[in-house]
Amino acid sequence: MVYEFWDLRSHNLIDAFDSEHEALVALREAVRKQGEHVVEFLVLVEDDDANDVSRVLFQGLELLERTKSVA
Q: What is the rounded average pLDDT of the residues 42-66?
A: 94
pTM of the predicted structure, to 2 decimals:
0.91
pLDDT tens, 25-42?
999 999 999 999 999 999
Q: Residues 4-29: pLDDT tens digits?
A: 999 999 999 999 999 999 999 999 99
For residue 41, count other CB atoms closer than 10 A to its CB.
14
Sheet containing strand 12-17, strands side by side:
12-17, 2-7, 42-48, 53-59
Q: What is the pLDDT of residue 18?
A: 97
Question: 43 pairs with which residues across the strands?
Answer: 6, 59
The ranges assigned to domains in the chain are 2-68
Our CA dihedral for 46, 47, 51, 53, rounded to 10 degrees, sits at: 70
> Is 90 exceeded by the pLDDT of residue 67?
yes
Residue-level pLDDT at 32: 95
